[in-house]
Amino acid sequence: MKTGSLRARVILTTLAVLAIVLAGVVTAVTLAYRAKLDGDLHTRLAEAGASVLHAGSAGQAKRLLPGLALEGIAIRITPPPSTATPPSTSARSPIVRPRGSLLILDEVLPDGTKIAFSTSRTSINHAVNNLLLIELLVAAAALALATLLVFQSTRTALRPLSSVIETARRIAHGDSNLRLDPSRTDTELGSLAQAFDQMVDALETAIEEARASDAATRRFLADASHELRTPIAALQASIETLLREQPERPESDRLQAAVARESERLGRLVDDLLGLARLEAHPTRTPVDLAAIARPLVEDARMRAPDAAIALRADSHALVSGDPDALERVLRNLIENALAAIKPNGRIDLQLRRRNGYAEAHIADDGPGIPEQDRKRIFERFVRLDPSKPGHGLGLAIARRIAHQHDGDLTCNATPTGASFTLRLPTALDAEQA
């Protein structure tokens, strides 16, 4: 990007154009003035020749000499030779010939007398030079005045750019709330100011998102370290007890079961953490039928809770565009949470429906429900409302993140009894357009 002075370029360009225009005007006026003076001089010579011819003889022509001399026209009369043939009296146009600084016109009277008219062009050159000097002085004065006017006008016109520079410097020094706020956006400077404000707003948003992401990453690492420390410590204690004391059964069986249980818990936690990390990448987009995913999950839930009433209602094929494994994980998490919340003979309702271009999966149970103040908090990482139940508090955070990556959302609904969740995703056509 060229960073030369915009003001200097505008001034120089404007003055260059003005100088060219003035030079053209001076040249045209000078040439026109010279042509006019030359034409007048030719006309006077032609009129002088015509008057002499009208006189008809040399004697009568001599009477015109004083008057012509006053007009700056000199006459030289040459008598005809005795043997000369009288010239033709047919009409002809006078011919004016330049000779140095003079203009010459030759005429022949009917009696053969030759008369030469001559006049000097010095006066024309003098008049043209005087005019040219005046024009140059006027052009120089006009150029000087134009320089002052252009300098002042460019300084006024470019003042908004100075405001942009000053605002940018102040923002760079920490005053990030400053904006240009242009009064008009349909002009070049208005569009520039608007684009500048939009850029600063975008940078502010990006900085805030980066800070929030950094804070979330730090919090995630701290929470993950805390969550990993507990099963690792329990696993290490059980193994050390087994190795150091080598207890007899049933104590050894209890310790081995604890090792297996903590290992499984640690594996699930690591799997959830890896799944959470993978969500930073864009999911694979293929047509997915939520009903086809939900049916085997519901059958598995019925086998695990044979006394519970688990119902699936699908109004129509809820076809969305997304990652089938990720969407299956969302539905499985919601169903497992419902199974953990209800009593052995409880009730779970899963309804799939289409509404306003979205596919909705509505899951409700008759468990103890979720307090209103916790309905948003449960989607945060490592939040568990009941620490006595298994889990790490990552399931719902991962589920909502998957929903957001599919241009949808996962919400906890207000309900008088039990818990109710709604997964809302764009249908396949709307998802592809998005």
The secondary structure of 107-149 as a DSSP string is: EE-TTS-EEEEEEESHHHHHHHHHHHHHHHHHHHHHHHHHHHH
Distance CA 373, CA 126 (A): 102
Q: Give the CATH fold of the 283-433 domain.
A: Heat Shock Protein 90 (3.30.565)
Per-residue pLDDT at 317: 66
Per-residue pLDDT at 28: 92
Distance CA 347, CA 365 (A): 6
Per-residue pLDDT at 270: 74
Beta-ladder partners of 286 = 322
| The two structure tokens encoding residue 372 | 């209103």
Per-residue pLDDT at 391: 57
Of 223, 250, 255, nearest to 239 (Cα)? 255
Per-residue pLDDT at 106: 77
Q: Which residues contact 219 (CB under 8 A, 6 or more apart)?
A: 381
Residue that is written with structure tokens 């009730």 in the block: 347
Query: Which helix (H) or strand (E) element contains residue 337?
Result: helix 324-341
- 80 three-state secondary structure: coil
Q: Which residues contact 424 (CB under 8 A, 6 or more apart)?
A: 358, 359, 360, 403, 408, 409, 410, 411
Per-residue pLDDT at 92: 52
Entry pTM: 0.47
Beta-ladder partners of 359 = 354, 425
Cβ of 289: how many Cβ atoms within 10 Å? 18
pLDDT per residue rounded down to tens, the chain (434 residues): 566 677 788 888 888 998 999 999 999 999 998 888 888 888 877 877 777 777 666 666 666 667 777 667 777 777 776 555 555 544 455 677 777 778 787 777 776 777 777 887 888 888 889 999 999 999 999 989 988 988 888 888 777 777 788 888 888 787 777 787 787 777 777 788 888 888 888 888 888 878 876 776 676 666 667 667 767 777 788 788 878 877 777 887 787 887 887 787 777 777 766 666 665 555 567 888 888 999 999 999 999 899 999 999 987 667 888 888 888 888 988 998 899 888 989 999 999 988 888 899 999 999 888 888 887 888 877 676 666 565 566 778 888 888 888 889 999 988 888 899 999 999 876 544 44
Of 370, 396, 372, nearest to 382 (Cα)? 396
Do residues 163 and 171 touch, judged by C-beta distance below 8 A? Answer: no
Task: List every span in the chain annotated with CATH 1.10.287.130.
Answer: 169-278
Cβ of 156: how many Cβ atoms within 10 Å? 9
CATH class of 169-278: mainly alpha
Helices (runs of H) and strands (runs of E) counted in the chain: 11, 11
Task: List every span in the chain annotated with CATH 3.30.565.10.
Answer: 283-433
- Which amino acid is present at 208? E
Distance CA 196, CA 181 (A): 10
Distance CA 402, CA 329 (A): 9
DSSP3 helix / strand / coil % (the chain, rounded to 5): 60, 15, 25
Size of the chain in residues: 434
Produce one character per residue of 92-116: b if its CB has 16 or more CB atoms within 10 Å, e if not. eebebeeeeeebbbbbbbeebbbbe
Residue that is written with structure tokens 């009568």 in the block: 60
DSSP letter (8 states) at residue 416: S
Of 360, 306, 302, 368, nearest to 335 (Cα)? 302
Per-residue pLDDT at 21: 92
| The two structure tokens encoding residue 35 | 């042509």
Residue that is written with structure tokens 């969500």 in the block: 279
Per-residue pLDDT at 124: 83
Per-residue pLDDT at 238: 79
Produce one character per residue of 81-90: b if its CB has 16 or more CB atoms within 10 Å, e if not. eeeeeebeee
Q: Which residues contact 249 (CB under 8 A, 6 or more apart)?
A: none
- 429 three-state secondary structure: helix
Longest pairwise C-alpha distance within the chain: 170
Distance CA 310, CA 307 (A): 9
| Strand 114-120 with 102-108, pairing | antiparallel
Q: What are the C-alpha distances in Å from 306 to residues 216, 348, 349?
A: 41, 12, 15
Beta-ladder partners of 99 = 102
Strand order from edge to edge, sheet including 114-120: 74-78, 114-120, 102-108, 96-99
| The two structure tokens encoding residue 367 | 């468990």
